[in-house]
Amino acid sequence: MLVLVAPGQGAQAPGFLSPWLDVPGFADRLTWWSAVADLDLVHYGTEADAETIRDTAIAQPLLVASGLAAILAVFPDPAEAFRQVGAVAGHSVGELTAAAATGVITAESAMALVRERGRAMAAAAAVTSTSMTAVLGGERDEVLAKIAEHGLTPANDNGPGQIVAAGTVEQLTAFEADGPEKARLRRLEVAGAFHTEHMAPAVARLEQLAKGVDVRDPRVRYISNRDGRVVRSGREVVDRIVRQIANPVRWDLCMDAMRELGVTGILEVPPAGTLTGIAKRNLKGVDLFALKTPDQLDAARAFVAEHAAAHDAGDTDDAAPGSGLLIAPFAGTVQRGRAAVGSELSPGEHVATVASRGEEQKLFAEHGGTVLEWLVQDGDPVSPGQPLIRIHPKAEALV
């Protein structure tokens, strides 16, 4: 199964979009979205220096625009992307990229929201001198205890060995002088304490705007930063993105959800490298692709095809009239329905439910038929692609 991921603020680098301008349609999209964002995204992505694009009001629209334009370069036909991608997730502002990629909001709505998000967060950061410090290594419980002791917030939890503390500069300075044992501390080049209470004014601004945004339910699974849950309501996706501005990013739980869903490949959109780097440490055995430059596009499409094939097989085996099997769509616990061996199922009848910490999905006998054999017991743990029940389809379904 393929998961598409979009990085957050801090991933940008001077000139990272320069090679992309030769991709047909890329510069045109940036020019159009520049009008929506009220920023010259082409200039900032190709000519501006590191200090300039560190500005929150510039960095965030630049990240969302670059991610969306690259996604369209990989998937010129959005319908094809919806068929091939098993799930999407974005880190922090990357959630807006992910929301537009899965059809919850339009690209123009994403650019308008990220424009106001960046401005509002920059204004909130200007009220008090705040920042963020990465904590690398150390014992998790001790790290969290030290962060709390100094009145800081674990603003990003990126999995074992990487937690980001956020708060005032004074708090961080004291923390860095009295850090947890066996941990390395590194002050980040960011403009404020994102995903903490310091960002509350930005939440209020985005809440006003989000009420008027047209939304649709996601076309593929959307994994939320809040708790790693798969969210199926478009309105809830947008509401969660807004509230996440002042709440910690639980990327560790997002990766747990990917694992439960049976991820086999992760494709990170530009400016790529950060999230695939985290996944390399935490999702052993998963293939990773960091899309950085356009000369990788053919390889990226081949990567998509390789991992989308596994995703498609997992989604369609239960619907194929000749297969006779319903399979688990992701890792979790199975809840068997009432159908006993020998019973007749009507077309579309509910047969079983697979539930995990992040998602619950009902499985149906699309073509009906006779229950031949249950391959699991009620309450059994199951793996992605594991057969659950064998059904002999109705004769007319085989025609």
pLDDT digit string, tens, across residues 240-253: 999 999 999 999 99
109 annotated active-site: no
* pLDDT the model gives residue 399: 43
* pLDDT the model gives residue 324: 72
Amino acid at site 342: G
User: Chain-centre distance of CA 189, in angstroms?
Assistant: 23
Average the pLDDT over each of 47-61, 134-148, 257-271, 353-367 and give the range with the smallest value.
353-367
CA torsion 65-281-74-119 (nearest 10°) is -10
Q: What is the mean pLDDT of residues 95-104?
A: 96
- State yes or no: pLDDT of 145 exceeds 90: yes
Q: How far apart are the C-alpha atoms of 88 and 91, rounded to whole Å? A: 10
Q: How far apart are the C-alpha atoms of 247 and 191, rounded to whole Å? A: 17
pLDDT digit string, tens, across residues 160-201: 889 999 999 999 999 999 999 999 999 987 879 999 999 999
Q: What is the mean pLDDT of residues 371-377?
A: 90
Q: Which residue has the higher pLDDT, 331 or 291?
A: 291
* pLDDT the model gives residue 107: 96
* pLDDT the model gives residue 316: 36
- State yes or no: pLDDT of 317 exceeds 60: no
* pLDDT the model gives residue 393: 77
Q: What is the mean pLDDT of residues 309-318?
A: 41
pLDDT digit string, tens, across residues 24-41: 999 999 999 999 999 999
Choose the catalytic residue: 92, 109, 131, 356: 92
Single out the residue of 99, 22, 24, 11 nearest to residue 59, CA to CA: 11
* pLDDT the model gives residue 394: 67
- State yes or no: pLDDT of 397 exceeds 90: no
Q: How far apart are the C-alpha atoms of 292 and 301, rounded to whole Å? A: 14
- State yes or no: pLDDT of 16 exceeds 80: yes
Q: What is the mean pLDDT of residues 307-334?
A: 61
User: How would residue 56 be classed by pLDDT, with cut points 50, 70 and 90?
Assistant: very high
195 annotated active-site: yes
Write the CB contacts of 78 (distance below 8 Å, at least 6 apart in sequence): 72, 103
* pLDDT the model gives residue 325: 79
* pLDDT the model gives residue 323: 46
Average the pLDDT over each of 3-17, 105-119, 324-338 and give the range with the smallest value.
324-338
User: Chain-centre distance of CA 276, in angstroms?
Assistant: 12
Domains parsed from the chain with CATH numbers? 2-118+197-312 (3.40.366.10), 127-187 (3.30.70.250), 317-398 (2.40.50.100)
Q: Which residue has the higher pLDDT, 243 or 367?
A: 243
- State yes or no: pLDDT of 311 exceeds 60: no
- State yes or no: pLDDT of 221 exceeds 50: yes
| Alpha helices by DSSP H, the chain | 26-37, 41-46, 50-54, 56-74, 78-84, 94-101, 107-127, 140-149, 169-177, 200-210, 234-243, 251-261, 274-282, 297-316
Q: What mean pLDDT value characterizes the chain?
A: 91
Write the CB contacts of 74 (distance below 8 Å, at least 6 apart in sequence): 81, 267, 269, 291, 297, 300, 301, 304
Tally: H helices and E strands in the chain: 14, 19
User: Chain-centre distance of CA 287, in angstroms?
Assistant: 16
Choose the catalytic residue: 91, 195, 198, 367: 195
* pLDDT the model gives residue 309: 57
